[in-house]
Chains A and B, each alone.
Chain A
Amino acid sequence: MYSEKVMDHFKNPRNMGEIENASGVGTVGNAKCGDIMRIFLDIDDNGIIQDVKFKTFGCGAAVATSSMATELVKGKNVQEALQVTNKAVMEALDGLPPVKVHCSLLAEEAIHAALWDYAEKNGIKIEGLEKPKNDISEGEEEEEY
Chain B
Amino acid sequence: MGKMIYLDNAATTRTAPEVVEAMLPYFTEFYGNASTVYEFGGKSKEAIAKARETIANAIGAKDNEIYFTAGGSESDNWALKATAEAYKSKGKHIITSKIEHHAILHTCQWLEQQGYEVTYLDVDENGLVKLDELKKAIRPDTILISIMFANNEIGTIEPIAEIGKIAKEHDILFHTDAVQAFGQVPINVDEMNIDMLSTSGHKLNGPKGIGFLYIRKGVKIRSFVHGGAQERKRRAGTENVPGIVGFGKAVELAVSTMKERTDKEIELRDYLIDRVLKEVPFTRVNGDRKNRLPNNINFCFQFIEGESLLIMLDMKGICGSSGSACTSGSLDPSHVLLAIGLPHEIAHGSLRLTLGADTTKEDIDYTIDAIKDIVAQLREMSPLYEDYIKKHN
Which chain A residues have a beta carbon within 8 Å of chain B's beta carbons?
7, 10-11, 13, 16, 18, 27, 31-38, 55-63, 99, 142-143, 145
Contacts and interface: CB of A to CB of B under 8 A. Distances in A.
A32 B333 CA distance: 9
B17 interface: no
Contacts of B331: 33-34
B386 interface: yes
B140 interface: no
B93 interface: no
A7 B391 CA distance: 33
Given A145-B342, A145-B346, A38 B383 contact: yes
A5 to B, nearest CB: 14
Contacts of A13: 381
Given A34-B333, A58-B308, A63 B344 contact: no
B315 interface: yes
Given A38-B383, A57-B383, A59-B307, A143 B325 contact: no
Contacts, number: 78
Given A57-B304, A57-B382, A143-B345, 14 more contacts: A7-B311, A10-B308, A32-B344, A33-B325, A33-B331, A36-B384, A37-B383, A55-B383, A56-B383, A57-B303, A57-B385, A59-B307, A59-B308, A60-B308
B153 interface: no
A99 B331 CA distance: 10
- Chain B CB count within 10 A is highest, among A11, A56, A61, A62, for A56
Contact of A55 (B302, B348, B382, B388): B382
23 contacts: A10-B308, A11-B315, A16-B381, A31-B344, A31-B348, A32-B344, A34-B331, A34-B344, A38-B383, A38-B386, A57-B304, A57-B305, A57-B382, A59-B305, A59-B308, A59-B324, A60-B307, A60-B308, A60-B311, A62-B305, A143-B345, A145-B343, A145-B346
Interface size class on chain B is 20 to 34
